[in-house]
Structures are given as structure tokens and as C-alpha cells.
Chain A
Amino acid sequence: MIVLAVAALISVGIRPVSAQVLVFAASSASGALEDLAESYSADGLGDIRVAFASSSALARQIAAGAPADIFISANPQWMNYLAARNALVPETRLDLMGNRLVVVTPRAAPMDVELRTDFPLVDEMNGKPLAMGDPDHVPAGMYAKAALQTVGLWEALENHIAPMHHVRAALVLVERGEAAAGIVYATDAATSSRVSVAATFSADSHPPILYPAAIVAGRSRPEVERFFDYLTSAEAMTIFTRHGFGSVRRMDR
């Protein structure tokens, strides 16, 4: 809903600059970011508002002039997109946290899954599909496709997937048992009590899942920089880890 309001503001061309800090973040980071914002304001450090959507939608909105101060993407691709348009403050770009890719199955209908090329996963799925983000454009989907290709299961599974517009939507399918299994982030699996992790992709079977963060060009302000620093603090990392994210060595551009 916040995204819609912001989009409306974009169309009018207003770029409000306020003491409040507006963060655009990928949906998969929603739980962690909400906790961070709450803890930050509980400590009296400032007022943070976060808007969640898919990285692609957020990136396009920022490029069109949305009044976001900080952008946290679910993959480097969309950060690169903004960098190419000079929409970031380049020195501030860093990789905030990492994630792992897991295969989940419904807790009510668990399944054995082995991530090797001749594993008869399609037979095990028994007519139901494998839910995942759309491999054409959803970051989680693109990672999943890469991972499946690495372990040699992509060809067999290609025609048995249900591409969802949102990795959380894929999770819902697995929760409801409509999909036999799903490939989601480890952080997503952690949020649900109705799925169990059947297997975890090794980190080198896919490009590293990194969540780059940066300050949007022209939005640098004391309160923005303060919160951005907070994001890389040890306290923030604790919160990220609690939600299932992994830490990442800082990458300076």
C-alpha cells in the first residue's frame, strides 16, 4: 500500500525530503527490516519507514524518481540497473547480507529430496508442480534455476514448475500442499511453520545471493547516513541472523 502511495507521489513529481527515512527493500527482507526499524525507533534514534515489493518494481520506481532514501535489493542485478542510471551514491554501495536457497516441502506431506542429477524428483512430485519464483525475472527464481542447472535437475524439472510472481507466493503454494515442493530462500522457510526444509543448495551451486544496499543519489542526509551505518552494525547483524540471513564480507566498490 505504501508503494502505491509513493507511486502516486512520483507521478506528481514531488520529491519530499523529510526527517523521516524511507527505505525501499526487497520483500524477502521484510521481517528483518521491520524488526530493525522498530528497534531503531525504540532506541529513540529516528523514525524509519520501509516499503516492501519485488526488487524489480522498486528499482524501476526509484529510477522514475520515487522519494526513497535507501535501497536494499534482493540481487545485484537491479542495483546495477540503478548504478548505470546514476541513481545511487556509488561510494555507499555494499553487500548487506546473504541468503541460502532451500528446497521446502509441506510439513503435512514431507518428501525426500536429494540434489543430484538422477534423483527422480518429478516422479516423487506425483503430478503437483515445483513452486518457485519466476525464473525469468524474480531473483529467487533466477537463483533457483541456476542452482538446479548446477545439480543437473533443471532439464527434468523445467516443465513441472509453477513460476510465481513472488517468492512468498511460492511458499504459500507449498504451505497449502498445492505444490509438492518449492525452492525459496532460507529466510522465507524460517517464517513458516507449515513447511519443512528438505534440502539446502550448496552456496556454490548458484551465484552468491547477496543483498546489496545503497543510498539513493541526492538523498544523502545526516539521518539517512545514520541509519545506513546502523544497518551494518553488529546489532543489526544479530537481527538479520535471527531471521536466517547470513553475513557477508563487506565489498567496497
Chain B
Amino acid sequence: MWSLTELETEAILLSLRVAATAVIASLPLGILVAWLLARCRFPGKELLNGLVHLPLILPPVVVGYLLLVTLGRNGTVGAWLFDAFGITLAFTWKGAAVASAVMAFPLMVRAIRLSLESIDPRLEQAAWTLGASPRWVFATVTLPLALPGILTGVILAFARSLGEFGATITFVSNIPSETRTLPLALFSLVNTPGGEQGALRLVMISIVIAMLALAASELLARRISARLRG
């Protein structure tokens, strides 16, 4: 009863891999976009803000369809990716990671942006006058102080990625051991007569993973905050 079936192990490992990849790959862009929105003024800033939040508002299936249109093998960008680098994203776990990253992006950016906005720009000014170039100011003062927000963004994005379904299934379908993450496996079981038992098990597993992630993030957040407050 307590051991995992092969389907479950496969779904869990795939989910973790997809979510981790999604978060790590989108983090640099997330920090950049959050910084642009927090600190810069430029024409089209509100447009960028709207674009970033689109995955929060659009139905996930629509986002999945848009990914198909742009990143599929025949897509506007996907065709070039394949011709130039031989990269295929549709129907692969990497595509699932892209779908998760896109859906989780607004949550990550919001959290990081909030954190950046709470940093006193006068501290950055001070670092500047002490000889640090703007890039070094960012690396040695801004980033460390924004760490709690970045961590929150990462955890939120990770959790969202673990639960991502609509965009994933539309973009990369439900291929066992390649794209069948926990939510997709759950979906299959729910739709199979007699699959309720298996579905319930997956639900419990999902809850346990979510709780563990939350606990880990709480611990980390507290340690970092303590260090920053001195």
C-alpha cells in the first residue's frame, strides 16, 4: 500500500524534473523582467506588464494553443529552432517545462518585483558612489537584498508548475514517461472507469509534495530574512 507503482514513480519524477527545469530556466528572465518593471521607465512598460500577466488570465488551454502555434515544429519560432538547432519542444518533456514556465512566469515576476520595489534605492546609490558599477551594484547589493522575494517567486512558480495541466496537455500531449506529469496522470485515471482508487493515491502524493515544498520554503525564507535584517 505504501510503495509506489511504476506509473506513480514515473509521474512524480517527471513532474519534479519538469517543474525544476521550468523554474531554473525562467529565473534569469524573471529577475530581468521584474527589474525592468520595478525600476525602469520606458514606453510600452504597461504593455510588457500586461503580456507578463496574460498566462494568469487566459485559459491554460489557450496558452497551450498559442505555444503550439509559436513553438511547434511548424510554428513561427519553432520552425526556426528546428532548422537552425534541431530543437523540438512539442511532445517532449522540455516542451512541458516550457508550458509550465510560461504559466508560472507571472507569479514569479510578481513576487520578485515586489521584493525589488521594497529595496531602498538609496542603498544602491551608496554602492555606486563607493565605486561599484551599476552591474556590480545589482549583483552585490540589489540581488542579495531581493533574495527573499526571489525565493518566494521560485517556490510559487515551482508549485504552479507541479499543478500545470491545460497548457501542457495541449502543447505536448499525454505521453507516458515523457510528458505525463502528475496532473496529466491524474486526469487519465479520473477519466478511466475504475480509476478512482489510483487517482486518489496520486492526489495524496501531490499533496505530500506540495506540503514538503512549502515547508522547505518557509524554513529557507526565515533563515534568509534573519540574515538580511542583521
Query: Which residues of A are interface residues toward B (Cβ below 8 A)?
Result: 54, 56-57, 77-78, 81, 127-129, 131, 134, 136-138, 161-165, 169, 172-173, 176-178
Contact = CB atoms under 8 A, between A and B. Distances in A.
A128 B78 CA distance: 13
B169 A164 contact: yes
B192 A136 contact: yes
Contacts of A138: 191
Nearest to A106: B74
B173 A164 contact: yes
A57 B191 contact: yes
B194 to A, nearest CB: 9
B192 A163 contact: no
Given A128-B73, A163-B175, A178-B72, 7 more contacts: A56-B192, A57-B191, A81-B193, A136-B192, A162-B172, A164-B173, A178-B91
Interface in B141-195: 169-170, 172-175, 187-188, 191-193, 195
Contacts of B69: 176
Given A81-B193, A134-B174, A162 B73 contact: no
A165 B171 CA distance: 11
Interface of B: 65, 68-69, 72-75, 88, 90-91, 169-170, 172-175, 187-188, 191-193, 195
B188 A169 contact: no
Nearest to A165: B169
25 contacts: A56-B191, A57-B191, A78-B193, A81-B193, A127-B88, A129-B173, A131-B173, A134-B191, A137-B188, A138-B191, A163-B174, A163-B175, A164-B173, A165-B169, A165-B187, A169-B170, A172-B68, A173-B68, A176-B74, A176-B75, A177-B72, A177-B74, A178-B68, A178-B72, A178-B90
Contacts of A136: 188, 191-192
Contacts of B192: 56, 136-137
B73 A137 contact: no
B73 A178 contact: yes
Nearest to A127: B88
Nearest to B171: A178
A164 B68 contact: no
Nearest to A108: B74
B88 A162 contact: no
Nearest to B61: A169
Contacts of A163: 173-175
B76 to A, nearest CB: 11
A58 B41 CA distance: 51
Contacts of A176: 68-69, 72, 74-75
B188 A134 contact: yes
Contacts of A77: 193
A115 B109 CA distance: 51
A227 B45 CA distance: 56
A57 B191 CA distance: 7
B174 A165 contact: yes
Nearest to B74: A177
B198 to A, nearest CB: 11
